[in-house]
A and B are shown apart, each in its own frame.
Chain A
């Protein structure tokens, strides 16, 4: 604690070391898993430093150690050349470290101002704190292009603005070192550009920025230096100007990777799915999907691009039978009921629709169930899994699971293991195996590779293309533009519950799609 006090608030007062943060020999294990292994890194003051690595490479653990969420098993942290101990977040804040988490830590029904002062109030009474914060917030907003209405409720703000609140929170606490964890996952390209402008502005004022991301492009465009993590170790730290996306990817994975998806031109057949004026209201009566219409042909992948939260989830849920909807949906000539007791996931499966949901952990799997039980999930009525009219045939389901695990390369191939014991990529393979093995007429697939390691990404992409080549229709929803561009035969862009336009991947670029995702440039 004493050490932390030494380190705090001295950043601006002619520090002795050129480094804002130095980590020396940091190790951290969870049980038998070595999350961080002898990490050494030195981050120069006044730079933007990228940290890149696959899921599970140990980036988040390392940052959590810096922010006092975990304590390292061994090693040393130096802030501005002085050793500090960071047993809790309060010490991290005192040492001048601010953190913007991937999932914002905001109170939804509080105002911006209340969120900013939470934990940094000036006294037991609120009014004085609020008045002071209002003034400081105004100054900060002007200085760094961080304008937000201090009296707005968080739940009324866009994600981009919510993120600004998180940055303001850190600056209000006089952070000199700002860590951002996957900050652009929820932003439009435009908003992301704005964010990077803000970050550069902060850097130019002498602040140090640590940017954690898995997007190579952001690293290349924004950072001064980049460190690569792989399986808990820091494999390299290089100047960004002296490296390339390909060599960074190779460092991340440990082998050469194909960033491009190889696929033949589509041989599209007749119309498989026809959607007309599909609309969805949420539980509060707000229109989330405002009447979209499109067709998908057999043997075609239709990609839906868009920033998260613009109606794509509702589109998948409406088609998958999870959310009630209005409009007309015709699959292979038969109209599907969109409301009432026949509008449910089982009826859609019976109609030939398979659905790999966006969120496999809360929708696609029962995490406490064994793998074999999850392979029956949604298909537990299937005659193949029944012994007789009364009893299920659990043995048949287990045998089928073992077969699927072999085909889809699920590791470890143990049907009785609980879903939560598998890695993200292998969980996704279980879902993909379950849904694709049905040979559906239409595959709905959302964020197929979110939180999935690069090896599994290649595998899942190949499966999607194989299904297309087998003459099936695929509706692909992803917030990763790269993924949309490389897999889709046609791309629709969604914004605010509507379709902004259609493009062919070969005839567009990320710039144009990005504008459309931000609601501009409709056709």
Chain B
């Protein structure tokens, strides 16, 4: 059985439909990214799966239970890193990193050793620092520490790197990849393409409450088989030849013309595919 199974998920608030018929299957041990623009329904979908919101219609099974009615035992098997809200800086701001992680560890039947978790998220040097003195990136690492200290089988990460600088984002990705290597199932929402590409085994693109494409980052939206463009330049100037058989073309060029200057083969980037999928002109 999959870690997550969702069929025909709907969520509406008054007149507004936030989630409009989502189907999902996420296997144990998989890293799945829900990619979409702001307001696409990513967080609503994930918060329904976390048990934070009630669905209006459809079926959802997470670790074999309905998240709308699951109890403490179920919660002890999942980890949640919520989206950072406006006043999140005030949450437990005067506790130290170690006190926070140790305290949360006490909620779970088989938690990790708090010191190990702090080490793993790269906050060992900050263990005795009060939360309010952490930088944004360090705070987010603490969020992850609190999310994983209970040894979850399934970890939800809702826009984990929003507001990070590129360097902090890269270090954060390494952390997530290391969790995935331990076999933790990870469901991640993001509006960063590079993040989905770097972390996910599989990506679902969501827009206007619907999943419009699903696949590995390489094959998403028919990317692997899409028409390629072979470019090079010579004394006549630059050439750009669209082709479905780029290997044959290059082989022929190699035979007839020898070494080519500036040879490249490009396929639509993930960004091109993504923008097309969410209906934005690229």
Q: Indicate whether A and B interact.
A: no
Chain A residues at the B interface, C-beta cutoff of 8 Å:
none
